[in-house]
Structure 1
Amino acid sequence: MRRQIFAFMVMTLMSQALWAVDVGFSGIGQWNSGYEVNTGEWQTNQLAIKPEITARFDGGTKVTAKLLARWDLEDKLEPGRPAQPFRSGINRRIFPDNHTDLELRELFVDDYLGNTFVRIGKQQIVWGQADGLRVLDVINPLNHREFILPEMEDRRIPLWSAQAEIPLDSWSLQLVWVPDSTVTEAPEPGAAYALLDDPFNGAGTLTVDRPQAFSESDYGARLGRYWKGWDLTLNYLYHTIDDPIVTVNPSEQAIRASYNRSHLFGITAANAFGDYTFRLEAGYESERKFASSVHGLQSTDELSYVLGLDYSGLTDTLLSGQFFQSVRDKGLDVPRTEESATLLLRRDFMNQVVQLESLLIYSFENRDALWQLSADYQLTTNVQLNAGVDLFSGDREGQLGRFRDRSRLNVGIELGF
């Protein structure tokens, strides 16, 4: 059935494109190989094709479709054909075999109703000022197929949703509605970056209690304006927190992932002071639940914030640091505070033909870290070569340290068309 739905959407777009005034086609082809240093084995050898089709019509309407076809020789990131319990029926991928997956990444319509911009369809809606550390950027759930290694744009799962941007004098108002019930996707036990532990060695069952589509929709609003050099936003979102509450029933050999609803209130602020740019992002969740082996489900409110400082005073160089903290109620079986930090150094050479980048992510709680080093070489206008290393370290109890055996070397090539 999913194949028929996928084919219908593609054929509909192609038929509509026949009536378009202007049709554009472009895309990217990527080959990436990852070699695990500790195991001495290939983690991935994958080819990804990402075509994009745009169609413009009389009156200004625009339709955009982004597709993904991926083939992985190793089949270690998502072994076999995943059951996809974290995705809604209309948001699932197609797995023709153990090595191939196909996905309609995005399909949306842009138009104006008077001065109001409207986008409806499968899309990414991005909030916030932080890079990689999510406080307000929680409208779209994530795919942890390669944990947090890819770019955020590739990790977000686009959702069927609608947004409208309304100008209000010096302010702008964005309204968001998300009826899609997809939540953050964790690789199943046995995958290279499996996040769910399986105490039953494959004999257990996993049940995912996703929210109900439409009846438990996410919706929110964002007010934004530019004031005396400050880029400011005020945010509100009533949503399902996409991180699962995992409970285990040994007698039934059952693993259950459930979710809770919460009101999220947030602010962002950014301003440039010469060569420095200051960024602030803060969010307050009215309720976040955790599973405790002793006390069952525990509930708390949670305040999270990110402070960022960017420096661009050196030629062709960006230095960026961020500090993240979450604060919860006392007396829980989880830490009352959680802190992490990032440090990014990026430098261009040879008129941006070569780019070197170093990104360090450090968690203070378990003293674990991820260090990503990369080098990109723009061989021609449409061809880019890249190489790098992803190094995990620290306590195996930490979210980063648990994958220290997955440190890898990467090489790849990207072709635009």
Structure 2
Amino acid sequence: MMRKIPEISILSAVIVVSLISVSFTADNSIYYNRTKGNKSNRTFLERLKDEINSMDIYFKGEAKYSYFCYQTKSEYTLNDRREIDFNPELKWYLNKKLFLLINGNIRYDFDSTSRSRVVPSELNFTYTGEAVDVILGKQFITWGRADSYKAVDVFKRHDLTDPVENIEETLWALKLGFSFKESNIEFVLIPFFEEDEMPDNSDSRWFFLPRTKNIPGVGDVNLSYSYDYSKLPPKDLSSSSFGVRYNGRNEGLDYSFTYAFSYDRAPVQYLNSIMSFNPVLKSSEVKILPVYNRINVLGIDCATVIAGIGLKSEIAKVMPEASADLDSSMTLSYYRFNLGLDKDFGSVFANINLFIIVQYLYDSGYSAGDLSLRHIFRHALAGKIELKLSEWVILDLKSFNNLEYFDSLLQPEITWKGIENISIVLGADILQGNETGLFGRFKDNTRIRLEAKIYF
């Protein structure tokens, strides 16, 4: 369960500003740069309108409706899920080099209300100079060059309440960049810890704790859970993180060296204790204590193109700090690695374009059966095949195959963009295989999904 900072009031102000900016234009894609008129003998509202219209503002956004239909019915939780997302974005240029970015996320889940929220997805000031870049506020921080799994991407937060969607999240940070001729260096400072959102609500189909347990002499016992967040790092400077990244380029090779002092943002271990047990009702309450840990991470990533084939690779050494709260096996150093190839074949038949990505993923950390969603790809192969049938129709097949546990996720989908600013996606998430792995464990969550987006 993620702790929230007071953000609803901020987003309310965002929405008000956004609506005001839209109300004075018929075309929201126009760049505003209007001269101020004579303000004599004008009402306050007329003067306010002039002030707003003189600002340099962009406004855009998207609205999305999603529907998921699960093929296996569950006695514990929902069998269908419907969701609406609204994401307005306001970019206000205060001068040629400085702008304010406000990107809100309003999500309402009709069937799993614990996923509903109203938050600013991005809220930051961005300064872009000739040699210095600064971003201050709520922002995405992405390290790495791979197409899906990024071994060196240590700061990115995730909304894992639906692990297959795996929505990327922002965090509060200061990012400084200094550019040179063929290189740049980036510093990141994160003032306090923000964790991933986990599927720890028992009404979720992705709830990862056992709902029953067989006790000798009693039989199957129904389990309920409560959470103790006393081990969650405090939201103050004592839980701050920082990192540095050097980017260079040499004869067609892009490369980076990174160091980060951060946290595993998903719990690395769940401690548990039995709070109560009723042998008559065959029920038991279990208290869960999520434990997070500090990590030091050294990383290298690179990308190049050889004979028209894109090559991308990353490797990171993760060094957890010792902790009295953790099993010693959870504080051993480990490696994350990925190697990817991609090729755009262009038109292969009757103006049908083909694009392929293949990526190998490796994670040496943690033993089989642990509950950390950070370490599901211990030895895996991922891929994507994209067929562009026309400007309006695209066929995709994505796959994630765990070679250690022999479980997999297949995601076939078709995207239609026949009307300007509208896209419709029909697809499926097919989970199968050994129940030791993540996808095999949740193979009953195979589903069909429909997504409709409107861009404005």
- TM-score, normalized by the shorter chain, greater than 0.5: yes
Aligned residue for 2:175? 163
After superposition, residues 24-43 of structure 1 pair within 5 angstroms as 24-39=58-73, 42-43=79-80
Aligned partner of 2:270 among 223, 246, 258:
246
Find out whether 1:345 has 2:385 as its counterpart: yes
Where structure 1 has 5 or more consecutive residues not aligned to the other structure, the ranges are 83-99
Question: Which residues in structure 2 correspond to 1:36-55 (within 5 Å)?
Answer: 36-39=70-73, 42-55=79-92
- Which digits, 9 at most, give the CA deviation of each residue in 1:351-399, with x for residues without a partner? x211111011011221110000111010211111110010000122211
Deviations 1:179-202 (A, max 9, x none): 231111112233121234567722
TM-score of the pair, normalised by structure 1? 0.84
Correspondence 1:260 to 2:293 = yes
> What TM-score do the two structures reach when normalised by structure 2?
0.77
Does the CA-based 8 Å contact 1:291-1:298 persist in structure 2? no
1:305 aligns with 2:305: no
Residue type of the partner of 1:116?
V
* 1:59 Cα deviation after fit: 4.8
Q: What is the identity percentage for the equivalent residue pairs of Structure 1 and Structure 2?
A: 17
Tell me how far 1:248 sits from its aligned partner. 1.1
Counterpart amino acid of 2:170?
Answer: P
Counterpart of 2:258 in structure 1 is 235
Q: What is the DSSP-based 3-state SS (H/G/I as helix, E as strand, rest coil) of the residue aligned with 1:38?
A: coil
Q: Distance in 1 between matches of 2:395 and 2:114?
A: 36
The answer as to whether partners of 2:244 and 2:260 remain within 8 angstroms in 1 is yes
Q: Distance in 2 between matches of 1:23 and 1:125?
A: 24
Distance 1:208 1:190 in 2: 23
Alpha-carbon offset, residue 297 of structure 1: 5.8
Which stretch shifts more, 377-386 or 189-198? 189-198
Deviation string 1:53-111 (CA, Å, 9 cap, x unpaired) is 11111352101111111222222xxxx547xxxxxxxxxxxxxxxxx421211101111
SS in 1 for 2:356: strand
Tell me which residue corresponds to 1:67. Answer: 104
Q: Where in structure 2 are there 5+ consecutive unaligned residues?
A: 22-50, 213-221, 277-285, 348-352
Distance in 1 (CA, whole Å) between partners of 2:225 and 2:17 is 47
Instruction: Give, in whole Å, the separation in 2 of the partners of 1:332 and 1:379.
Output: 46
Report deviation, 1:8: 4.1
Instruction: Determine the structure 2 residue equivalent to 1:221.
Output: 244
**Deviation of the 1:261 alpha carbon:** 0.9
Distance 2:262 2:140 in 1: 15
Structure 1 distance, partners of 2:365, 2:10, is 47
- Say yes or no: does 1:125 pair with 2:141: yes
Change beyond 3 A, Cα 1:308–1:289: farther
Deviation, 1:239, is 0.4
Name which of 386, 395, 416 aligns with 1:356.
Answer: 395
Aligned twin of 2:151: 135
Contact 1:281 1:306 (C-alpha < 8 Å) held by counterparts: yes
Confirm or deny: 8 A CA contact 1:379 1:385 kept in the other structure: no
Q: CA deviation at 1:120?
A: 0.6
Runs of 4+ residues deviating >6 angstroms = 288-293, 331-335
Q: State the distance in 2 between where 1:258 and 1:290 align.
A: 10
Q: Which residue of 2 aligns with 1:324?
A: 361
- Tell me, in whole angstroms, the C-alpha distance in 1 between the residues paired with 2:381 and 2:250: 29
Change (3 A) 1:116 1:287: same
Alpha-carbon distance, 1:327 to partner:
2.6
Q: Considering only aligned residues, what root-mean-square deviation do their CA atoms show, in Å?
A: 3.1
Aligned-partner Cα distance in 1 for 2:273–2:157: 26
Residue type at the aligned position of 2:168: R
1:395 to 405, 415, 434: 434
